[in-house]
Amino acid sequence: MDKATSIKKVFISTHPFGEISTEPLDLLEAEGISYKLNPYGRKITTQELATQIIDCDALIAGTEIIDASVFENAPDLKLISRVGIGLDGVDFDLAKMRNVKVAFTPDAPTVAVAELCMGLILDCLRRITATDRHLREGKWHRHMGGLLYGKTVGIIGLGRIGKTLVHLLQPFNVNILANDIDPDMAFGHMMGIEWVDKDSLLENSDVVSLNIPLTESTFHLIDDNALKKMRSTAVLINTARGPVVDELALLSALEEGMIAGAAIDVFENEPYDGPLSQCESVVLTCHMGASTRESRQRMELEATEEIIRYNCNEKLKNEVLF
């Protein structure tokens, strides 16, 4: 490969990286590619990223915002390889203008996120976290929860994660409603799914799970009007992207008893320290959908392999076309 188009140095902004397995770092070293790791031990800010990436021509990225300041400080940037599936942090217009390729790892986190969805559904319905919290406070209170078995689960977004969640739900004999901009009719038919519009899904579901990307059309998709359509006994699960839910509207809905509960893994601003933290009827987790050893190891490896493919002038496996 022409030296002008090869990758010589990578900045790895996502954290942690290489802790479960050093294989991704070993691959870079074997290819003769040097690297810098995120030095902050936490999610990097855009300003910090812009400072760190100056002399690098590839980025192994996390969920941070990659905006004009980053691109301007990295004139030799050729490839952004995202550890994970969400791409809302990347300015694709700038990437296209600067001829920067973008890749991601869409399959690696699928099962982990779907399993977290499943766990949060059961947690909300059975009030597991609330009971644990009360017990530690010296309160012996057996919360009266509800069954998942036989209920109606509405899934907004039936892509990789949504479909995996459907499979995980099968032993619970649930009725599944789904809404998607590009419905997979064959999968729906095979799994007995009923395709409905968003309002019908919200009105008729005992559980609503959000499994959609963040786009202009999904920003605050779940707002005050959407929450008013949900059943008072229903629970909302968001393991997708924080801005899909209007957090203040959700807080009001929970406080007013418009819905019974919620579980939120992702937030508009992370780390989260907002008022939902004081709400008893919501389970909060810290963007940990893909945080299993197996998933993390695979994501890191696949993101690194895209760097190697680029350097060997091979076709990228999961390039984002824009």
Catalytic residue numbers, as ranges: 241, 270, 287
**Secondary structure letter of residue 4 according to DSSP:** G
Distance separating the N- and C-terminal Cα atoms of the chain: 24
Round to whole Å and give the CA distance between 278 and 258: 17
Is the Cβ–Cβ distance between 95 and 322 less than 8 Å? yes
Beta bridge partners of 163: none
Round to whole Å and give the CA distance between 34 and 57: 11
Round to whole Å and give the CA distance between 298 and 292: 10
Beta bridge partners of 153: 176, 207
Round to whole Å and give the CA distance between 148 and 123: 10
Round to whole Å and give the CA distance between 7 and 280: 50
Round to whole Å and give the CA distance between 167 and 144: 27
Task: For residue 137, give the amino acid letter.
Answer: E
**H or E stretch covering 109:** none
Task: For residue 154, give the amino acid letter.
Answer: G
Round to whole Å and give the CA distance between 146 and 124: 9
Give the strand order in the sheet containing 58-61: 34-37, 9-12, 58-61, 79-82, 101-103
